[in-house]
Structure 1
Amino acid sequence: MIRFFRYSNESYNNLNQNSKHKFAQSHALNIFGKEAIYSFIPKNACSTLRTTIAYANGCIRDKSDFNWIHKNNHTFSATLSELARAKYTFTILRCPFARLVSAYLDKIVSRDTVAWNYIDLHNRKIDIEDITFDFFVRSMSKPNIRDGDIHWRPQIDFLVYEEYDDYFCLENFSKVETVLRDRIGIDIIDVRPLTSHTSYGFNLIDDNDFSNIKPFELLKYKLNRALPHPKNMYNDELIELTKKAYSDDISLYQSKIDRKTLMYS
């Protein structure tokens, strides 16, 4: 079976100069001893999977060392020959609408360093309190903004292969655990309760329109272990803008995952 690369033939230049392929390859991680490749996509349980792989590759001893992964994002990036010879490949997709909300609430509202990088993408002409979710979504119509950070960059950009053996979805994470145990004999090390950038353990509020609420007001909710339900961040106009900005991701998700888990079809 030949594993065709998604972006390799988009340019006849040397493959090392093909930026789209190089980006996707750098996010394709080797699980040594299993001859398996996992393409990691930020905001799609990647901390849990990268911790699992770090353990499987003998670099950490248990989940208490999970912070090791943040300085080793590309330690296990696969070579071209390793990608071509892989016996098993997989990735985890996420509803694009939910992923965009997650990136916003995690990186912008929490005033992560990524938030200041987002301001730099606007040439520092905005203040952090200007970045409502409405503003954030509208900005994704500009390719330099949408592609400017890995946490909201389109998921399809991270996929080095045209096809994977398995496409999982974050919305059905239990399937990931079952299949990986059966296919390659690894157990997931779930670090979601240990990280500060997920909605794990938060109460979801679904009785308000949060699309134009200022980040500081949302941060107050977050400090009280509450977050808006993702659907309450959108209105009809923002839904359509997201569909346009992330059309490839939505098409990919609809073709590989059960449409019932897509927030807006």
Structure 2
Amino acid sequence: MFNFSANSLTNLNQNGQHQFCMNYAMQVFSSNAIYSFIPKNGCSTLRLSVGIANGCITGIEQGNWIHQNNQTFKPTLKDAATAKYKFVILRCPFRRLASVFLDKFVAKELDAWQYRDLLKREVNLDDLTFEQFVKSLAVPPMKGANIHWKPQSLFLLYKEYDNYFALEHFEKAITTLKDKIDLDVVDARSLTGHGTDKFEMLNDRSYCKTAAFDIAILKRQGKCPSHEALYNDELIQLVKKLYAEDISLYTKRCNQSDLLFP
């Protein structure tokens, strides 16, 4: 039932892959449900919703509580093994990488500075382009070095979930979770500001070689390159290679036609 528990003969408490997945699992108490959360896949909204459902906070006005409580609802091994309902939200890998760059790097959040440290501070974050970022992920250990671009398949606690939702059709998750486990999903986008829904999306040219600082200026003007506009043919092929397992997972569990580049 568990995805990585038998991958190592060591004590399960020392099984790094399994414990990592346990750390990114949340229990919904009233329904004995387990949610595996993956960064950049709508997880702020779901973490907020679980926090409210479990009686620890009352609404979005207390939303910053979630950032210090990612493991507050971590299940025990028994909880995880006996869960009555298990769900996860997947995202098109092309869109997830684009979202990371437009969010974490353009805003120069902590993850961007950690990325710079991994590259021995040899990169200027203002000058960094999406092309440079994606190409750097081909150099070990960069692809797995940060949870926001770590492959989604490595977060899956279970071999099978009851529901695999696509972030691209988040409305289906909202209605299904209400119907199946009576979970009210509370939108956290106004709290995080991570999305691009409030911007005029630019598709007039390729922005793969546009510096993060220049994109930040565009965003101050209410404009933002679309996810598709960040790619060229070379980057598409590179992401297909680097994230082949995630693309296969999304194709199998969601809908291949919802990939940015099917």
The residue type paired with residue 213 of structure 1 is T
Once residues 98 and 182 of structure 1 are traced to their aligned partners in structure 2, the CA distance between those partners, rounded to angstroms, is 28
- Is the aligned partner of 1:71 residue 2:68? yes
Question: 1:254 corresponds to which residue?
Answer: 251
TM-score, reference length from structure 1: 0.97
State how far apart, in whole Å, the 2-side matches of 1:179 and 1:208 are: 38
Distance 1:200 1:264 in 2: 20
Superposed displacement of residue 51, structure 1: 0.3
Could you give the per-residue CA deviations for residues 14-37 of structure 1, whole angstroms, max 9, x where no partner exists? 111111111111001000121000
Partner residue in 2 for 1:126: 123
Partner of 2:242: 245
Matched, 1:44 2:41: yes
Q: Any conservation in 2 of the 1:193–1:200 contact (CA below 8 Å)? A: no
Distance 2:184 2:9 in 1: 41
Q: Report how many residues are paired.
A: 262
- The alpha carbon displacement at 1:193 in A equals 2.4
Mapped pair 1:89 → 2:86: yes
Aligned to 2:181: 184
Deviation of the 1:144 alpha carbon? 1.1
Work out the percentage of aligned pairs sharing the same amino acid.
46
Partner of 2:139: 142
1:224 paired residue among 198, 221, 240? 221
Could you say what secondary structure the match of 2:250 adopts?
helix
Alpha-carbon offset, residue 253 of structure 1: 0.2
Rounded to whole Å, the distance in 1 between the matches of 2:195 and 2:19 is: 28
In 1, Cα distance between equivalents of 2:169 and 2:123: 37
| Residue 18 of structure 2 is aligned to residue 24 of structure 1 | no
Establish whether residue 167 from structure 1 lines up as the match of residue 159 from structure 2. Answer: no
C-alpha separation in 2, matches of 1:113 and 1:29: 24
Corresponding residue for 1:152? 149
Please tell me whether the aligned partners of residues 208 and 232 of structure 2 are also in contact (alpha carbons under 8 angstroms): yes
Q: Which moved more, 1:197-206 or 1:153-162?
A: 197-206
TM-score (norm 2): 0.98
Shift of 1:264: 1.1
| Backbone CA RMSD of aligned residues | 0.9
Gaps of 5+ in 1: none
Residue 187 of structure 1 and its aligned partner are, at CA, apart by: 1.1
Alpha-carbon deviation of 1:129? Answer: 3.0
Whichever residue aligns with residue 200 of structure 2, its letter is: N
| Structure 1 residue 201: Cα displacement | 1.5
| Pairwise CA distance, 1:216 | 0.5
* Contact 1:211–1:235 (CA under 8 A) maintained in structure 2: yes
In 1, the alpha carbon distance for the partners of 2:20 and 2:180 equals 27
Aligned position for 1:11: 8
Contact 2:127–2:213 at 8 Å: present in 1 too?
Answer: no
Query: Which amino acid is the alignment partner of residue 244 of structure 1?
Result: K
State yes or no: 1:203 paired with 2:200.
yes
- SS at 1:29's partner residue? strand
In the alignment, the residues of structure 2 paired with residue 22 and residue 143 of structure 1 have an alpha-carbon distance, to the nearest angstrom, of 22
Question: How many Å separate the matches in 2 of 1:224 and 1:65?
Answer: 29
